[in-house]
Amino acid sequence: MSRFALEADKQTQQQGKTQDFELADWLDQRKYLYYVYGLGNTHMKTVLIFRHAKSDWSEEFPDDHERPLASRGRKAARVMGRFLRVIDQMPDAVVTSSATRAATTATLAAKAGKWKCPIRVADELYACAPDDILKEIRSQPDSVDTALVTAHEPSCSEAISLFVGGARVRFPTAAIARLDFPVNGWKDCAYGHAQLIWLATPALVEELV
């Protein structure tokens, strides 16, 4: 059965250790947030970091920005979109890199998962640094509770590491990581303040969708 490698708490993250939780148990019981934060914490903002799906390297593209998705990448994007719908964690807003492969990943995922949220394209997320991802997160209106950011490597894994206060993250194409910030508003999000709740790849979740 597929498993998520979920960080149990910040101390465990910093030690580079993980605990395995059965995905089915987590989905059925919906108790994992209580495990992480305890009862009574009602203020939360959730970020979903989404690496673009596999791009097409079968031909030479003079402009890397315009490189499209491979057929495998298009399939993976749809799988991840449906996955978020299955676990009832669809975003309220999406911001994506303007690169063709990233924007297409976000669009295909949203369509397959029937997300009902706006998708905004940001040039700043192409060839970006973690600070650019943080800036986009902080710019979200507080009416949004879950924001999804579609970007590139190594920016995605570097940002995740900084958000949780230090971790080694392997982040393959079309992976999504969920990060929870115990804050009232997006402007309060900062490095070292998030919990990594789960990290999923198409290979792990395809059987669920």
Provide the pairing of β-strand 3-6 with 19-22.
antiparallel
Nearest-10 Cα torsion for 8, 12, 18, 23: 10
Distance, CA of 3 to chain centre = 17
| Residue 165 resides in a domain | yes
| Residue 77 resides in a domain | yes
Pair 144, 157: CB distance under 8 Å: no
Helix 100-113 to helix 71-86 angle, to the nearest 10 degrees?
Answer: 40
d(CA 161, CA 181): 14
Q: How many domains does the chain have?
A: 1
CATH of residue 57: 3.40.50.1240
| Residue 145 resides in a domain | yes
Model pLDDT, residue 39: 40
Model pLDDT, residue 144: 98
**Helix, strand, coil percentages for the chain (3-state, nearest 5):** 40, 20, 40
How is 90-116 classified by DSSP, letter by letter? --SEEEEESSHHHHHHHHHHHHHHT--
- E strand segments, 117-170: 119-122, 146-151
| Residue 180 resides in a domain | yes
Distance, CA of 137 to chain centre = 12
Model pLDDT, residue 42: 53
d(CA 144, CA 169): 26
| Residue 5 resides in a domain | no
Q: pLDDT means per 10 residues in the chain (209 residues)?
A: 39 40 48 42 87 90 90 98 97 98 98 98 97 98 98 98 94 98 96 96 94
Domain with 48, as residue range(s), is 41-208
| Residue 9 resides in a domain | no
| Residue 67 resides in a domain | yes
CA nearest neighbour of 10 among 114, 164, 158: 164
| Residue 122 resides in a domain | yes
